[in-house]
A and B are shown apart, each in its own frame.
Chain A
Amino acid sequence: EVQLVESGGGSVQPEGSLRLSCAASGFTFSNSWMSWVRQAPGRGLEWVAHIHPGGSQTYYVDSSRGRFTISRDNAKNSLYLQMNSLRAEDTAVYYCAAWVGQNYWGQGTLVTVSP
């Protein structure tokens, strides 16, 4: 059974930091492009970051570039998102998603940025 389990969300003050993790199982993680996609309350989906299966290429949406860092550890079947200098507009549910022929999504982890 395929599983993507996000963790690390929570409440943080503006300019604070959080590190999200995504534990993958049930598919060949090391062959999979991985993404972080977020959904602000009551809003649509927004791609945040994307990483090559080997980790050699990373892509960021403009609003996250310079503040967020996507990384992976294929030995641990894990994906990460280091988020620094958080802003109120970063408040959202953050999903990790796998792209390996099939497409898989986690259940999401909520990040709330407020004073």
Chain B
Amino acid sequence: DVVVTQSPLSLPVTLGQPASISCRSSQSLVKSDGNTYLHWFQQRPGQSPRRLIYKVSNRDSGVPDRFSGSGSGTDFTLKISRVEAEDVGLYYCGQTSLWPHTFGQGTKLEIK
């Protein structure tokens, strides 16, 4: 199985400051069709997960442009340019390139 490892697992951030989460996979997530199916999800307290970024760097509809994704192969990053109070919650990277699809452990973002 593809192991997806996130860091850090806890991320205290001052409002208005940037934040960055790393995601590394145990093998390349480039699929035979040339696409890389690495996505980022947000789970606010008490809510269902919501996808923010799909295929490494594409923002989902309605996602603020302060969220961006980058990376390739096995190394990926989610960046928040200026953290707002509504960004508090858990962030997961997840891969759907290979079955079983797998998620990272989650990163808890909190406000300092």
Residues of A whose CB lies within 8 Å of any CB of B are 35, 37, 44-47, 50, 59-62, 95, 97, 99, 102-103, 105-108
Contact = CB atoms under 8 A, between A and B. Distances in A.
A11 B56 CA distance: 38
Interface in B32-58: 39, 41, 43, 48-51, 54
For the complex of A and B, the 4 pairs showing the least CB-CB separation, nearest first, are: A103-B51, A105-B48, A47-B101, A45-B103
A50 B101 contact: yes
Contacts of A106: 48
Interface of B: 1, 39, 41, 43, 48-51, 54, 60-61, 90, 92, 94, 96, 99-106
A47 B92 contact: no
Given A50-B99, A50-B101, A44 B106 contact: yes
A103 B54 contact: yes
Contacts of A62: 1, 100
B61 A47 contact: no
B100 A47 contact: yes
- Secondary structure call for the A interface: strand
Given A62-B100, A103-B54, A45 B49 contact: yes
Given A44-B90, A45-B94, 9 more contacts: A44-B103, A44-B104, A44-B106, A45-B43, A45-B92, A45-B106, A47-B101, A60-B100, A108-B48
A115 to B, nearest CB: 29
Nearest to B51: A103
B40 to A, nearest CB: 11
Contact of B60 (A60, A61, A103, A108): A103
